[in-house]
Amino acid sequence: MCVCVCVRERVCLNLANKRGLCIHEHKLKMRFHISRWACARYAGLRDIPATSHAFNDWNHCDLTPMADEVQEESNANGAVAGISRQNRLGPAIRTASLPELGPGGSWSTCILGAGKTPPSDVAHVQFRSRVAFKLVWVPPLFSTFVLVDDDGKLLAQGTPQEGSGLPSLRERKANYDAVTGGKYAVEAERISTAGHS
């Protein structure tokens, strides 16, 4: 399903895999807006008004690098259930993507459908890409989050400061619910079982 591999995707995936723990050590226990933008910048996304949704609700929690040729995909065929058939993101992706990571673009895409096997979310279906990482909140307190790679392996975890602009508890719970039953929930469940949520 994920056929569009570009230089940017390789760079973003390498950065996420090599730097995941570095992000955790330096940023993921700070105020949430700092944690959020440390994550986004690592995979090539600018901090601009058009990206204020990134990691700030239950759904826009995938950091997706993609090839130039798929940026105009709009889900016109309805392949991503629950997503508009006019999900035209191309101009926003080009504006928000940091050029220093090479050709292609990055966007914070919707996780809706990520609990299925194989994943049926915007990254994998609409943009035929892998995620650099997915942010998943850890039950039952939803005060800690994990960053997992496209295979669901743990890259980092963080517990941002309370009162620092976290998404609402309802949003954080909905985020976890969206990945339940799939590979992206495994690390959050492991940490929850260990009592570190």
3-state SS class at 133: strand
E strand or H helix that includes residue 132 = none
Q: What is the pLDDT of residues 129-185, one digit of tens each?
A: 889 889 999 999 999 999 999 999 998 888 888 888 899 999 999 999 999 999 999
Query: Where in the chain are the domains?
Result: 7-193
Share of the chain above pLDDT 90, in %: 39
Whole-number mean pLDDT of the chain? 83
Most confident among 6-10, 118-122, 127-131 (mean pLDDT): 118-122
pLDDT at 79: 82
Does residue 22 carry a pLDDT above 70? no
Locate 74 and state its tokens: 């709009």
**Is pLDDT at 21 greater than 70 in this prediction?**
no
Q: Please determine, for residue 119, whether its predicted confidence score (pLDDT) is greater than 90.
A: yes
Distances (CA, A) of 32 to 27, 47, 67, 80: 9, 14, 29, 29
pTM recorded for the entire structure: 0.86
pLDDT of residue 26: 53
pLDDT tens readout for residues 63-82:
988 888 888 887 788 788 88
Place of tokens 């914070």: 108
The pLDDT of residue 17? 52
Sign of CA dihedral 192, 113, 51, 169: negative
Measuring CA to CA, which residue among 116, 100, 97 is closest to residue 108?
Answer: 97
Identify the residue whose tokens are 């050590």: 25
| pLDDT number for residue 144 | 94
Residue type, 196: H
pLDDT level of residue 5 (50, 70, 90 thresholds): very low
Residue 127 main-chain phi, psi, to 5 deg: -105, 0
